[in-house]
Structure 1
């Protein structure tokens, strides 16, 4: 019995040493604080109370309450935002039994909800959080004409309800070779893809059958919100011809459209700008073959110079074990001509704006969620570490190097 007590005591002691320190009142100090709401602040401070930011400014002129937990780092940024991922619906070991982001039984399934498949305990969630990623736009991914719904979560929480920020963010679709049927299954061509999408959207435009309330059509219910402009449609389209197909659908149905992937976006700058769409650009280091054969390392810079709103993402590639990391993708965009602060915008405030969460995350401003990432150097340098991560005022990651 004494031996058992010793083991339990040792286990509890070890847990106390490794568990995150949860605190709702935190002061974060940084030699440089990038608020993404103005110029960087030298020797800045961020004050968080009850999970919300209450003050941001120079340490010399910002009141720092006594008794608050204090963290410090060389560089402080908002918690990073991944504008499109399948983390939580795909597993770290990349095995079939943990892949819930794509259902291939039929080509159009907008009724599939990310909330029903998301696993907050997935090790990938913890992994990306350790690099400063605090918000995910995740859910059903590419590979089907309409694969399902996406959602927005924080990278913390024991249940999906704990993590949830927005249960329905967008409906995910795909035009191009990635969503063509095989073995004679429909759709077998691009023209069939567009025809099937048009047919589904036209059906959703029809008035609801008030007499047939008992016969619910889940597909139609979701697409009705899409054609009403209440739910954005995110279409993955990489080739110029596929991007143009998506833009024609936007014009015909008045859709709130987001272009995802966009490998050949640099060929359609005028068209994208005129359409007023936002772009969730493919990862900078995406493998340039197949649908991405004409991808460019410099597209992020090109979109920025053209004034087209965009964000970077981790996305999904079947070949990649685990997942990409938006911090590294943004760093590689810097190496290929994108200004460092602009790159930081693509994974903070610009990403938050595109997924409709800029009122809560993406910048360090009073009233926003207390989500902060702390680094021991330039975040885009490979040798830099995320030393601590704060989500809603809770210190969820703390590492010593």
Structure 2
């Protein structure tokens, strides 16, 4: 990993972000490609999906709408230990997601004047589950459970057809969907899946959805941007990121293990350590060398850790570490600090914060109960991770009786006149003015 020394320098937010660049060029290229793929699906439907499957997934002649018997077979063949883990994760994520549904509230502004705030689920959701370098039954849980907790009644799931499975969706993905009661599953991958969920595909019985969620590569993230305005989407969860802030007392082996755990996802994964301890930085490098060469996906890990998006960043002190982390706004933030619980309040921009050495990102990926579909690319400055709220729409229900409307009658007419929209005021007056009752003047 490269080492970037920021000590002794007073840097702006832009300068800190420039120190560890993100793969913006790759994202820009992906957007153009993804947009073309989405448009092709919108225009040509099933024909485009089959051509894309042959081109990107090397499969043809497969059932795009997964038959029920394939789902049942996947459940029957599921390893009992894996099934138990999936079921436990479902319970934990469901409990945590239930806390994300706001309670309805009523505001009384006066006699006969009230506004009710309610949260309505979308009618239909589409979830995308990646299927390239790894298998993600955990992502099925993280996407489906919040939608169910929100009250979404119709859920469609898309995941790439697998060449080694004869064009079927990976059986562990199918089994996880079945355990959640989802039987509308499509063998569609990448940007094409996002386009299909957004626009629908008549030939395979896929109706358009209202919201699309789920992680993926840069093409999937870019496809979400391409369909923005057609459907709602969660944040663009692209290549994974981990940023660890550690002090001199941190365990170098655990820091190295956690950096490698996320580098394992993809060659474009970002792994960043921020520390004010040169000794810790050197120890982490040594442990990375040992661990990275021994892990199963050593080549992929090495590509990620040696890429420009990964680094060890040396800073002067805790305040500088906080400033860097909040500017970078990582997907995953780990705090390996002697006062991690107290310090967590200072770290305000991250998709999820993992406090202390016993709360690694791997815990959040599976069984913490938190959601692992999180914003990447700095979006954590303004966007949340996936939750029940992703599938909810706040609505205000306004109820005024005649007396309450009369209380604000003159003010509404005055404001309407000031905005040169007299018909707005006239709509109010129509409820009060009779042949024997003159309209009020705005100065009354």
| Fold shared per TM-score above 0.5 | no
TM-score by length of 2: 0.26
Relative to total residues, which structure has the larger strand share, 1 or 2?
Answer: 1
TM-score by length of 1: 0.28
Which structure has the larger Rg? 2
